[in-house]
Structure 1
């Protein structure tokens, strides 16, 4: 078989496997009566949001396609851009569609068969998202590589695929994050604190919107987030390898084409290992949920590390490159374990204990945990960069960074499966509560949800680390493309333009964080007013004899998300264009460096602080420190409410922000090379 067909074949197999699993899940009992009605409301709300979001996104895509065609004067880059947006959109839509079908089936399985069956259903629901993300990435990039990869004059067109994926990711993650957190904050503040009713109580008008948000934010949004990092790391490696000098690549490989193809080969290997990992989780589903999930994740990673050695050897590439892959894979595990500690270990209990003296100490403790949690992941990323520079010849270290990112992301099939499992389990618990299925069923779904919270937090940490490495590789590719066409180009910190660019880059993460936090706050304000109105004006709602108008709350969250996601999206795409053509390539390179560092630090702080606040609330709700209804509970609910937009809106937006800025810069690099000093030089 022609080796270039491998990504297409493996991608096709991954998509077929996702379809088979979906058919298996869809044949499982979906419940009757109240259970079925609630599930249908969640499904319809999620699909309506996605259709409206994608309609707006289509307009944005058309505008960019026109700009790319006018800039490049051919169809190659615009076609790659459209294909990237299409593949990302399909992965998000299908994965979320499957998740909204799996949630109610998880509830029924918990009610009728117990914890092991419920775990299998929930995990299968998440694995559809994971396999679809990996498969669509391989199919899209594999097809473009066959079309453009062999010709050095057209290979740069592949960069457009990453830009398309990044634009969809930004809208999906930001829009979904605003939706889910405005609903979650509104439902919690009025329901838990003011009305004193449980989470997911059917009397609360905001509960359906909250459950819809879990899908549009944590399934479709997270999937598109990982998809763009997954594809971005491969694109960066192809770009770096294509610009390597003959003397440099010959030191680590027999052929330059093999170095370009390697990221696709490794990702194909990783998808096969992910499928095996998914079956491992199912085999061990009778064990504790966290044991089964950990076994599948670690098993897939170990299998990939072994298989990657033989893949690299078969392509005639040096063992040092495999060692870079090893660094990336191990680094991903370290970041995941550190995140697990800070969002599920002793720091969480310390935050909960802070609730004994009120919300202020909960906030202080949570922020301290978030800031401290940055240290080990960043040292790990620095270690990966140092390690690759030592392993590979001088000048090839940037390729090693890209391959390390590929190594970290190659098993994205199971990594994303475990992350998407969380919102499926969360929805299953909400449906059980709203349908009054009893304490025993709720205990099972709560156990799955508790593990899901931890896996979601680990997924966020992993996504941040992967996005940081992928963005660094893309930035390195951008520098390489400019350097090959502009004599003497470098990013020297002594250059005032580079230094100015670094400070400019540091601004953008704070602007986008402010925009997204304010969007959640404003939308939550509208949501709170509506929930209060319904409790006040609908007779019998608090007594449980009347039904809330859930569609009104879904509509409020939808309109807020769609209105507020446009600003960050436009800013991320326009900033590199304005700075690059206005101030020059050096200023743009500095801006990317400043944005990268600030994004990673801010993302880790917000994601881990938010995750720790969330689990501190759940720790108290399990009966510790006074349990539900106590003053401590009120304090940790406040912490969780602040943490919600931290971990699910603004924090995740940082991953995508830096990748969008980096990939847009890489796409326009050939145009910048023609006027490297900018209009205002």
Structure 2
């Protein structure tokens, strides 16, 4: 009977991919406009695809090495034989999601510009529904990958004990999340370095030094800047949220298999529940997409209201359907688990609204940053950093409430016994399913994010083609909205990463169980002489056995290393952007100096040279920070064992989450403060206040588009690497 419920998951995946194809074909039937508009769009498209091709070559080499390592581990019994294949498919589908999303975005930008020549609503719908292709491709491919792997493993893994078979299936499926995380990190870091090197170079030399508008065709870096929007904010974001979506579903399934191991009748349903909730979320996301439309004279708040209408309607209905799904599956505590899902949903909405408040120029925090530009760049930077730090309060408090409510709800708020061996598994399952709730309507929430770079490119096309002011006014309105939705999307991605990573911490212990059994260790022997069978040991038994306590110096050491990793990673990626941007600045200055007639419009800049600089810089600079995220958890595991790894993951989660929110919101606020001035406030374009705001924006660029959004992948990738390497960690570590 349970399998009948399961088949809604592959059905939803096909439904999502079908609508993605429908929206893509609808968009392609629209006109790209004039010949010049088509030419510029083609430049951007070719640059984006060229970069992605180079990136995938580098990533393919890394994957080949890792697959070889996993194959050797499997040969020596340290790893499941399916892991190398699962790892490959996770990376492949993550990359494929980014590829399809970026392909759509590069075709949609000029069509959005052309639609904006007719009406604001037409431009909004093309940009948003093109962004919806990304959202639907991500959820469609993710559910397809999960469905196929479940059916394969269910067929081939043979075990007389059905309960442990499901644990083996779900923990094996978790490992394809490492492939998705690895691909996502390279996409995010490489794309972020690419786009911000071009953006900083274009702004500092073009706007500040030469005094020409943003996206002016006389700026040699402007094509590279537009290419970067696609490779960083579309391909990178798509790969990022693909692995978040998969990670939340699979970690919940793994915890469900463990929490209900003594209840075989419910165990399979607990595994299927997150998949089914996500599947229903697909249908509701598509419904919400069709609700997004606005009036012609819409201002920023009205545009935001149009997008929120679709997102909030989808979220409302998934909350209702969750009660129905969990009731039909037969959970005794179906009401409590449903409130766990709602806690995740509400946390996502609150984080989104908080991010909007701190990054939209419709509200005071961003306007205060804009006003501070009247006294120079230094006060802009101080104001933006202060606002970003304060902005962390809402997401952190939201996640804290979501964790507590989602843990306690399935237990009937039995606070006194919340950490008993019987309750802890169910409580953690509640947290994990809350992450599923937050991501259940990803089809539409990711659409609001992918919409941003499409609108940005549309504005660039309008400026480079010299279209009438009314068109640029409409694309600027869409672009300003895109900055806010992008910041909201980043906050949403970071929030979901926090809940998913917490669930992965518990899943790590399940993988430790499998690792011990694979090595033939069937009994845990405690210092007091007591023993517990590994197969029947609770999470608390494992925590006690490996001494995961704050009094253990290995745990404390791991916490400090994990906290350091967040800052080290940000420092490396920030410096990478700085070095690549420096080369871009020098190149743009050289062209202005040596190619006579650029600034008068009599000569054409060498756009290809700037694209090449960004591509080479990104490929070279992305390797070190990305590989560190893989290497450090392995080193901590083989030196400090399980307790050190738990400390590492906890430290990375805590510091990484807060730092990521701060960087994303600071960057978004600086960007919109600049746009607020460009709309004619505080002196408008070309004023001293505008130049100061541009400097603030260039500081914020790597904050919001490189380091900040990459941190949520770092948090989850370290967890995934630890899970995949659990067999090595329990078999050999220097400090036990």
Which residue, 503, 510, 514 being the options, matches 2:567? 510
- How far 1:389 moved relative to its partner? 2.4
Say if 2:297 is the partner of 1:309.
no
Tell me the residue number matched to 2:365: 347
C-alpha deviations, 1:289-336, integer Å up to 9, x for none? 322211111111111111121111111122211110000001100000
Alignment correspondent of 2:275: 264
Matches within 5 A, 1:186-585: 186-244=201-259, 246-247=261-262, 250=263, 254-282=265-293, 288-317=302-331, 318-344=334-360, 345-393=363-411, 394-395=423-424, 396-482=426-512, 485=516, 487=524, 488-490=541-543, 491-585=548-642
- How far apart, in 1, do the equivalents of 2:47 and 2:246 lie? 29
User: Corresponding residue for 1:679?
Assistant: 734
* Residue 143 of structure 1: how far off its partner (Å): 1.0
C-alpha distance in 1 between matches for 2:54 and 2:390: 39
Q: Measure how far apart 1:483 and its partner are.
A: 5.8
**More deviation in 422-431 or 144-153?**
144-153
Structure 1: stretches of 5+ with no match in the other structure: none
Q: Is the 8 A contact 2:121 2:293 kept in 1?
A: no
- For residues 490-546 of structure 1, give each alpha carbon's deviation from its aligned partner in whole angstroms, at most 9, with x where no partner exists: 121111111111111111111111110001000000000000111111111110011
Preserved CA contact (<8 Å) 1:127 1:414: yes
Counterpart for residue 661 of structure 1: 718
| Cα drift, residue 175 of structure 1 | 0.3
Q: Which moved more, 1:286-295 or 1:137-146?
A: 286-295
Q: Work out the CA distance in 2 between the residues paired with 1:263 and 1:422.
A: 29
Query: Shift of residue 197 of structure 1?
Result: 0.4
Q: Which residue in the other structure is 2:158 paired with?
A: none
Aligned to 1:11: 13
The reply on whether 1:167 has 2:182 as its aligned counterpart is yes
Tell me how far 1:623 sits from its aligned partner.
Answer: 1.2
| Cα pair 2:566 2:656 within 8 Å, conserved | yes
CA distance in 2: counterparts of 1:285 and 1:379, whole angstroms? 38
1:679 & 1:245 partners in 2: Cα distance? 35
Q: Which residue of 2 aligns with 1:132?
A: 137
SS at match of 1:673: helix
* Aligned residues of 1:4 and 1:146 also touching (Cα < 8 A): no
Instruction: Give the structure 2 partner of residue 97 of structure 1.
Output: 103
> Residue by residue, what CA displacement relative to the aligned partner does 1:228-263 show, whole Å, maximum 9, x if unpaired?
11111111111212222545xx5xx95111111111
- The 2-side partners of 1:479 and 1:38 are apart by 52
Q: Distance in 1 between matches of 2:715 and 2:261?
A: 31
Check whether the contact 2:202–2:219 (CA below 8 A) recurs between aligned residues: yes
Change (3 A) 1:202 1:283: closer
- 1:285, CA displacement in angstroms? 8.7
Partners of 2:340 and 2:407 within 8 A in 1: no
Alpha-carbon distance change, 155 to 466 in structure 1, aligned in 2, over 3 angstroms: closer
1:4: Cα distance to partner? 2.7
- 3-state SS of paired residue (1:544): coil
Superposed CA RMSD in Å reads 1.6
Stretch moving more, 20-29 or 144-153 = 144-153
Deviation of 1:418 after TM superposition, in Å, equals: 0.6
Stretches of structure 2 lacking an aligned partner (at least 5 in a row): 155-161, 412-422, 517-522, 525-540
How far apart are residue 669 of structure 1 and its match? 2.2
The DSSP-based 3-state class of the residue aligned with 1:392 is helix
Q: Is the 8 A contact 1:95 1:129 kept in 2?
A: yes
The answer to whether the Cα contact below 8 Å between 1:119 and 1:285 also exists between their aligned partners in 2 is no
Residue 552 (structure 1) shift: 0.4
Output the TM-score relative to the length of structure 2: 0.89
Check whether the contact 2:260–2:270 (CA below 8 A) recurs between aligned residues.
no
- Work out which of the residue numbers 87, 94, 110 in structure 2 matches 1:88: 94
More divergent stretch after superposition (63-72 vs 215-224): 63-72
Pair 1:647 & 2:704 matched? yes
Taking structure 1 as the reference length, the TM-score comes to: 0.97
Larger Rg: 2
